[in-house]
Each structure stands twice: as structure tokens, then as C-alpha cells.
Amino acid sequence: MIKKKTVIKGANAPISIKDRKRMEKAIKKAKKDGEFPTTAQNTIPFRAMYKNGLCQLEGYRFSKSINYDDINYVLKDSPDKETVFRKLSDLYNFFTEDVHLQMTYMNTRITQEELNKALIIEDTGDSYDELRDELTDILFDKERKGNKGIRKNRYLTYTIEEDNPVIAAKKTKDLDEAIQANLKKAGLKAESHVLDGTERLRVLHAAMHPEGNDKFRFNWNLLSKNGLSTKDFIAPISFRFPVNGKYFRMGDIYGKVSLLSLDCPRVDDRLITDLLSIDTPIIVSIHIDPIDRVKAKKYIQKRNMQLNSTKIKEQKHASNNQENVINEFEFDSQDMER
């Protein structure tokens, strides 16, 4: 028996009435069969979060996350940039084919309460209170001109496959140390920190509450006492994914996912910096799957051939357009002479 499969070309492509009905029918069937998440908690795709920061995903996959400081690549001179690039390449090449890597750059909103707690210098009643108030004003002015109320964090998350959580924890511990050492080399002594379970849940909570309007309240003791899961402490009120796929909704927040495919001969090294300079909560993720060197070489050769072919076609197209313009100009000149 051959099952029919619906394929939609492009997130913004128009959907026919026939395809829409087929999609709605498939969604109803999934809900009836229990294959479709019925709650916001069940929509979040992980099975368990452990205190040591190990997260069990679907199947036999486990992940860990490491928070690291900004490497300040843009501010470095050319030799240092080349060093950072080479060290990061060493980091990527360190991973084997069975490890999936994700680099996440996350901007979230800082609440006014958090700003006040971090920047206000409390008066003590002595003769220096006026200076304290002046310094507080300077700090707030610097924050408004600099980060603009946006918290910027960077994470490296890797995923491995393993049948047993205990064995997975041992493997990831060795990987954590090796990754931190490579990050330190790449960032010229940049600091990094392996996230524990509570910290990872805090990050996930921030991602699903990007405006910072809902506080993260969590305690491991509440899980056993009330029968709650870790997802209950991070999930928004609801998720909504419309059929047209143009946006999604988390509680009262609207968002959109864009896929950026870089099939071009040159990429500006300020791309990520420019994206993260947008004054709004945003998450940029780069997914990396290591492949064998021989396979990688063949893939690069194939992509170069495709890019060269595209370049030749564009040059021919431009040349034809230029000839048409010249011919039209000559034709108009003859008409004018007549």
C-alpha cells in the first residue's frame, strides 16, 4: 500500500483549497489517533530534564548546553580574526559524525525590575548619595544606548545517541571538558559554563516568554510533591500554528521562523552580528552536522560545480539583457534619424 504525501513548496507559497482540506483532514486524524500534541506542554519536544543538565529528547538522544562569553570577533584585527576562525574550525572538526551541534544566539527582553536591581545604586544616607544617583543615571543612559534593554546570550548545544542516561551522562561529561577547552582557545581565554538542569529550563522559559513578562519559578521538590513535570514550569499558556505557516503564536506573543540557506560564494562575517543588532527579541540558530572528510570533500566539489554553473547562467542572462538594450537603443536611434 502506497501512502500519499502532501508537499508544500515554500513557507509563503499559496495553498490550494484541495491541499488545505487534505491538511485539515490529516490534522483531525492525528488528533484522533493521539499523534498530535493536545497541550502546550506536550508540544515541547523533550522527554525529561535532569538536574545535571542532561536533557533526554525523543528516542535515544541526549543533549547538553554550554553558555559562553562573547568572543568579540568584530572588534579584533585581521590576524586575531584569522586565529579565532581557525580555532573555531578546530572545534567543529573535533566532533564526530554521530554528534549534532547547534550554535544559538538568543536576545531576550530585560524587564524593568531586573534593570533596577542591576543598575540602581542604593542611597545610604551619607554625603555621597548625590554621586550615587548621578552614577545610576549614567548606567541607565549607557544601557539605553548600548544593549537597549536586550539581554544577549550565546549557547553551544550538542546531541548524542545513547540507550542509557547514566552512560550518556559519563560521555557528555568528557565532551563538556573538551568543548570548554576548545572554546577557551577560540575566544582567546573566553569563559564558558556548562548549564545544569535549572539553568537550561530557565533558558527554555526565556525563549518561550521573550518579552520577560512571566517570571521563571521552579523547584525540583515541586515535581515529586505535586506530580508536575519540568514542562509545566516553562510552557506558555498555549501554542498556535496556523495552517498557512506564516507565523506562530505563544500565548500573547506572535513570532515567525525564517530558514536562511547560504548557497553563495561569499558570506559577510558580520551577518550574525547584523541580525542580532535588531532591537527585538530574536533567536538565531546554526545547525551543524559533522560529516566524514572524504564525504565533505565530495560535497564541496559538488557545491562548487553547482555555484559555478549558476554563475555562468547569470552572466549569460546579463549578457543577453545587455545586447537587448543595445539593440533597442540602435533601433530608437534609427527612428530618430528618420
- Does residue 279 fall inside a structural domain? yes
For a pLDDT cut of 70, what percent of the chain falls above it?
76
206 CB-contact burial (10 Å; exposed 0-12 / middle 13-18 / buried 19+) = buried
Whether 106 and 252 map to the same domain: the answer is yes
Whether 331 and 190 map to the same domain: the answer is no
DSSP β-bridge partners for residue 286: 103
Provide the pLDDT for residue 280.
80
Task: Report how many domains make up the chain.
Answer: 2
- The dihedral region occupied by 53, where left means phi > 0, alpha psi between -120 and 50, and beta the remainder, is left
3-class SS of residue 133: helix
* Domain boundary pick from 290, 308, 328: 290
Cα→Cα distances 159→145, 193, 198, Å: 38, 17, 18
- Does residue 54 fall inside a structural domain? yes
Provide the pLDDT for residue 8.
37
3-class SS of residue 66: strand
pLDDT tens digits, residue range 185-234? 776 556 789 999 999 999 999 999 887 778 888 989 888 777 789 999 99
Whether 281 and 308 map to the same domain: the answer is no
CB 69 within 8 A of CB 191: yes
Mean pLDDT over 25-54 rounds to: 77
Task: Evaluate if residue 63 carries a pLDDT over 90.
Answer: yes
Whether 74 and 88 map to the same domain: the answer is yes
- Does residue 29 fall inside a structural domain? no
pTM of the shown model: 0.69
Q: Range of 319's domain?
A: 293-338
Whether 322 and 222 map to the same domain: the answer is no
Give the span between the Cα atoms of 193 and 153, in whole angstroms: 12
Q: Identify the DSSP state of 35.
A: -
- Does residue 11 fall inside a structural domain? no
User: What residue has cell string 547562467?
Assistant: 313
Whats the size of the chain, residue-wise?
Answer: 338
- Does residue 9 fall inside a structural domain? no
